[in-house]
Amino acid sequence: MELIPFIFVVVIVLATIGLGIWATGRSKTASDFFVAGRSVSVFWNASAISGEYLSAASFMGVAGLIMKNGYDALWYPVGYAAGYLFLLLFIAGPLRRFGAYTIPDFAEGRFDSPTFRKVAVTFVLFIGFFYTMPQMKGAGVTMASILNWPYWAGIVVVGAVITFNVAIGGMKGITIVQAFQYWVKLFAISAPVFVIMALTGHTGLDAAKTFGDPAVTPRITPGAEIKIKGKAAVPANAMSFAASEPTLITFPKGAILSKIGPARKPEPGEDPITADALVGHLPGLQYEASATAPPIPGNAEGYTCEPGSVFITKTVTVTKGGQPVMKDGKEVKTSAKIEFDQPAVVSLIKPGLKSEVTDASDPEAGALAPNTSPNGKWLNPFGAMTSKWGYPMLYTYSLIIALVCGTAGLPHILVRFYTNPDGRAAKRTTLWVMVMLGAFYFFTPIWGVLGRTLMPVLYANGATDSAVIKLPTLLENKVLGQVLSGVTSAGAFAAFMSTFSGLLVSMSGAFAHDIYGKIIRPGASADSRLKAFKIAAIGVGFLSIVLGLLVETFDIATMVGWAFAIGAASYFPLLLLGSWWRGLTRYGAGAGMLLGGLCSVGAIICSMLLDKKVLTWNVSPLIRSLMEQPAIWAVPFSLLTMVVVSKATAGSIPANVRVKMLRLHAPEGMGLSKDYVND
């Protein structure tokens, strides 16, 4: 266990609890609890919104995605930050002026329909839980990687601390905590970058290393021991090797494989490639690479490598009916993709080196990093991530729509806008949020580039997510490295603590305010609703911990993608049309929200099941691309459904729709807006 990072994590957890308790003394009324008394200043509210928004996915995941996918992944930070512009232009002001506590309040108040409140509450909880799961996974994984805790321990500790904090402090408590955590995160993502750049001499712009020769693939430190995950971690149990040069793979403790196949996905009609064509198996390093190797049967399913045995990867020309497949006038070549059945340790060496002990100071002696492409493909747009299904432009645009519209449809962020004193402050707050988020996300690509330049070994076992935690440990001054790793660990912790707090408040608020206070006991007093909030917080917190324990094998980015896709195709259309189009009816809004939200969830879940080979449909790559990134059709579909159904049910437009529109848009100075709930 690393002591220094552990101390940093303990300090951030204690500071969070302490601030929460301190703030509780100032949290008196129900209004304080739900919306912090609507008295938070623009600057602090913006800090709190930014603090709440920057989740584990942003803190660790974005840098990792950029390290893994290069340019294409730059759209993530830009989309996460720029999504607020749509929120500012169309939603922030009207939503605050309408004076409701929650989105379900808006749904009911705008359409005079208690039924619609129920639909809206369901979606708050649905998106909330989908967004909670990756946060929980982030907590478990971070604790596992820095402190060697078991996966469940991190989740239980973080979950319990935050639940306690929210239950005693409510929204006012967490406003201060989250504002504080924004500044912790900004410091943690920025300060170590400067130190690393100063001490290693790498600015990330190093022409020769990353932005130089497009044909170069980074080399990993010779002889580094790489821990590989087993089948339980699909797809992180695979290593895809470069075709440009063979790699020697040693298994010091042996390994059990689940498959050896070609690294390049075969196209229909191409000749199958067997495991034996892709790798040679040497009984030990004393054999020359050219020595006759014992053949590996079939596709190496269940194949056991003895301790000390060595593989050498081969370059294979892809053929179709015996003829080489050509692309751009060149033969298409591939090499091996090795999938592991059980966790194993491997070490990678460049052939020609007979000893495991090699000169680590010679960077050219290392093997080419597996699981990544040469610099050119990484650096340029339309790389591996967006070209996955052969429709890179479509994929890019769909991703942009999901990120931009999804940001404007996350209920735990939207609830924060009610903590502004008025619509004008809501707009100014959004402007500040964009500045604060931009300042934070600006650093994520630098981490990604530094990770590729300085620590390509993270590619080998799919550990790019931990780049932010691991990079500081490269420094020659070990203590300084540990301190900086402690700073980033504390930042990562602040990230999932603040996002989980926000989710917990919005979900507990939905239970206490919308389900208990409006549906179960409509006349409940402020005090009993406050009690319901605390009970709900504990219940939701417990359920989140349980859900977190169940999602260990799911990808953080995938789960966040679900939440964004649901938000983009359900809440965003509701808020956009609800604020600006008086012809919207409750039937139209409800139908669009349900159909849009459910269709995108369905598409994403099917896509995931196809990935995991649970479903074996034969889907064309175009459809497959649209399933994985559904926003490009789901958002217009949801909007269109709202318009068409509203036109068909025009009779149910609320009679006082003009008054409602005035309340949404008239400046406070005109005295037309009144708070929906007065406590």
Partner 1 sequence: MREQMGLSLKVAAVFILLLVGLPLGNFYLPDLMGSKVGGLTLTWLILGILFYPLTWVLSYVFVKQSESIEHRHEGEF
The residues binding partner 1 (CB under 8 A) are: 71, 74-75, 78, 81-82, 84-86, 88-90, 93, 203, 205, 207, 211, 379-382, 393, 396-397, 400, 404, 424, 427-428, 430-431, 434-435, 438-439, 441-442, 445, 580, 661, 665, 667, 669-670
**Consecutive H or E run containing 452:** helix 444-454
Q: How far is the CB of 637 from partner 1 (least distance, A)?
A: 19
Nearest alpha carbon to residue 110 among 623, 590, 640, 537: 590
Name the residue nearer to partner 1 (CB basis): 332 or 400. Answer: 400
Distance (Å, whole) CA 56 – CA 499: 8
Name the residue nearer to partner 1 (CB basis): 202 or 320. Answer: 202
Q: How far is the CB of 204 from partner 1 (least distance, A)?
A: 9
- Residue count of the chain: 679
Name the residue nearer to partner 1 (CB basis): 444 or 482. Answer: 444
Name the residue nearer to partner 1 (CB basis): 205 or 605. Answer: 205
Name the residue nearer to partner 1 (CB basis): 408 or 458. Answer: 408
Name the residue nearer to partner 1 (CB basis): 5 or 93. Answer: 93
Q: How far is the CB of 387 from partner 1 (least distance, A)?
A: 12
Name the residue nearer to partner 1 (CB basis): 387 or 473. Answer: 387
Q: How far is the CB of 76 from partner 1 (least distance, A)?
A: 11
Amino acid at residue number 62: V
Name the residue nearer to partner 1 (CB basis): 145 or 386. Answer: 386
Name the residue nearer to partner 1 (CB basis): 655 or 670. Answer: 670
Tokens of 507: 């979900």
Nearest alpha carbon to residue 541 among 138, 139, 159: 159
Distance (Å, whole) CA 533 – CA 535: 6
Distance (Å, whole) CA 442 – CA 653: 45
Is the torsion defined by CA of 160, 161, 167, 171 positive or negative? negative
Distance (Å, whole) CA 379 – CA 386: 13
| Cα–Cα distance list, 501 to 57, 75, 136, 498, 527 (Å) | 15, 27, 12, 5, 22
Is the torsion defined by CA of 627, 629, 632, 636 positive or negative? positive
3-state secondary structure of 138: helix
Bridge-based pairing state of the strands 330-331 and 255-262: unpaired
Task: Give the count of beta carbons closer than 10 Å to the beta carbon of residue 339.
Answer: 21
Nearest alpha carbon to residue 423 among 136, 664, 623: 664
Name the residue nearer to partner 1 (CB basis): 106 or 180. Answer: 106
* Intra-chain end-to-end CA distance of the chain, in Å: 50
Q: How far is the CB of 58 from partner 1 (least distance, A)?
A: 14
Q: How far is the CB of 435 from partner 1 (least distance, A)?
A: 6
Q: How far is the CB of 212 from partner 1 (least distance, A)?
A: 10
Q: How far is the CB of 379 from partner 1 (least distance, A)?
A: 7
Tokens of 243: 């075709």
Q: How far is the CB of 401 from partner 1 (least distance, A)?
A: 9
Distance (Å, whole) CA 422 – CA 411: 19
Nearest alpha carbon to residue 596 among 569, 556, 615: 569
Q: DSSP letter for 325, please.
A: P
Name the residue nearer to partner 1 (CB basis): 27 or 430. Answer: 430
Q: How far is the CB of 556 from partner 1 (least distance, A)?
A: 22
3-state secondary structure of 45: helix
Q: How far is the CB of 441 from partner 1 (least distance, A)?
A: 7
In the block, tokens 């930070």 appear at 77
Q: DSSP letter for 219, please.
A: B
Name the residue nearer to partner 1 (CB basis): 424 or 531. Answer: 424
Distance (Å, whole) CA 638 – CA 485: 44
Q: How far is the CB of 57 from partner 1 (least distance, A)?
A: 19
Q: How far is the CB of 77 from partner 1 (least distance, A)?
A: 8
Name the residue nearer to partner 1 (CB basis): 207 or 479. Answer: 207
Amino acid at residue number 622: L
| Cα–Cα distance list, 89 to 80, 302, 408, 431, 470 (Å) | 16, 57, 10, 10, 39
3-state secondary structure of 574: helix
Distance (Å, whole) CA 242 – CA 459: 12
Q: How far is the CB of 327 from partner 1 (least distance, A)?
A: 18
Q: How far is the CB of 446 from partner 1 (least distance, A)?
A: 9
Is the torsion defined by CA of 62, 67, 68, 73 positive or negative? positive
Distance (Å, whole) CA 121 – CA 463: 37
Name the residue nearer to partner 1 (CB basis): 93 or 588. Answer: 93
Q: How far is the CB of 527 from partner 1 (least distance, A)?
A: 38
Name the residue nearer to partner 1 (CB basis): 71 or 287. Answer: 71
Task: Give the count of beta carbons closer than 10 Å to the beta carbon of residue 2.
Answer: 18
**Consecutive H or E run containing 321:** none
Nearest alpha carbon to residue 50 among 103, 105, 7, 87: 87
Name the residue nearer to partner 1 (CB basis): 372 or 396. Answer: 396
Distance (Å, whole) CA 620 – CA 139: 37
Give the relative orientation of helices 586-611 and 114-147 as an angle to the nearest 10 degrees: 30
Distance (Å, whole) CA 9 – CA 491: 9
Angle at CA 226, nearest 5°, toward 225 and 229? Answer: 145
Name the residue nearer to partner 1 (CB basis): 81 or 312. Answer: 81
Q: How far is the CB of 182 from partner 1 (least distance, A)?
A: 16
